[in-house]
């Protein structure tokens, strides 16, 4: 056994993921590569009555540094599992190698049938790294900092009471832009442009573009179009007095907010890194994941196609 190690993050509720986990663990062990899993993830697997982990899999503490010392983090599941894995890997800069077992799996590199290729790439250290920008999110009230978090996809500020809209003043780079009576607002990265922001009517932004997106949710205002601002910008939302809202980062980390809260969003210097089997145009990923109609195209075909 070498000193190489791979951290495993799995969707515990997916029976197919249990089988893929066993396949990956066994293949890596046969190649002399150790595997590990966090205490939290191991407990979740046991709670879902998954088969026992391979005895060779090491259990490590569940922290933001769980991936320290690992070559890669292998993610087996959908985009939600990838977002959970990103929490384990971002601090250490270890890339995520994601096998999609979800519906769309926009963040994943491979499908179920490609697992052997992923293992082979890990064994022979054959992958390319793609960096995705993240956002730093800070909440203040009366000038005092009350909460800080980050997001790979988006930070969503949404109303609590279904029957009431909330009042939000939008600020860009220290200057007020507009006031919206709305259901909420989404601040997103290019990676998140195909997630919640897309569902809310925002544009698709290629991941090579450095930018922040602002997408209002059912805003009652004349000027309420999605915005694309510079990556150097600071976007702020001020919640009206008397309003109640919830702030969610990637749908995973949430905080309840009272009226008068201020939410600031800016680019975070720490990206999330993804391992890819090969470089490929984002256009091809978009077509494949959304099953877009491209019949009749007469452009140049890739060599060998």
CB-hemisphere CA count at 13 Å for 213? 34
Catalytic residue among 79, 183, 243, 250: 79
78: its two tokens:
């959908």
- The per-residue DSSP string of 233-289 comes to --EEEEEPTT-EEEEEETTTEEEEEETTEEEEEEEEEEEEEEEESS---HHHHHHHH
- The question of whether 117 is a catalytic residue gets the answer no
> Beta partners for 69?
none
Which residues participate in catalysis according to the annotation? 79
């Amino acid at each position: 056994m070498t000193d190489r190690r791979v951290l495993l993050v799995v969707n515990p509720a997916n029976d197919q993921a249990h089988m893929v986990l066993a396949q990956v663990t066994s293949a890596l062990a046969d190649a002399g590569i150790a595997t590990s899993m966090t205490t939290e993830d191991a407990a979740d697997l046991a709670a879902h009555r998954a088969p026992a982990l391979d005895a060779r899999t090491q259990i490590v503490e569940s922290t933001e540094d769980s991936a320290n010392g690992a070559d890669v983090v292998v993610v087996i599941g959908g985009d939600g599992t990838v977002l959970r894995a990103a929490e384990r890997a971002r601090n250490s800069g270890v890339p995520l190698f994601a096998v999609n077992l979800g519906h769309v799996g926009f963040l994943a590199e491979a499908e179920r049938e490609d697992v052997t290729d992923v293992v082979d790439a890990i064994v022979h250290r054959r992958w390319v790294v793609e960096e995705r920008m993240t956002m730093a999110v800070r909440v203040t009230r009366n000038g005092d900092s009350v909460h800080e978090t980050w997001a790979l996809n988006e930070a969503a500020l949404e109303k609590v009471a279904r029957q009431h809209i909330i009042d939000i003043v939008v600020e860009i780079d220290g200057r007020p832009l507009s006031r919206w009576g709305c259901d909420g607002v989404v601040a997103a990265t290019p990676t998140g442009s195909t997630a919640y922001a897309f569902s809310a009517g925002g544009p698709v932004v290629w991941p090579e573009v450095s930018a922040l997106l602002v997408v209002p949710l059912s805003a009652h205002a004349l000027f309420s179009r999605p915005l694309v601002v510079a990556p150097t910008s600071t976007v702020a939302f001020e919640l009206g007095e008397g309003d109640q809202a919830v702030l969610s980062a990637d749908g995973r980390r949430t905080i309840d907010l009272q009226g008068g809260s201020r939410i600031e969003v800016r680019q975070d210097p720490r990206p999330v890194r993804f391992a890819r089997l090969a470089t490929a145009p984002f256009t091809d990923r978009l077509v494949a994941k959304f099953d877009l109609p491209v019949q009749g195209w007469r452009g140049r075909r890739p060599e060998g196609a």
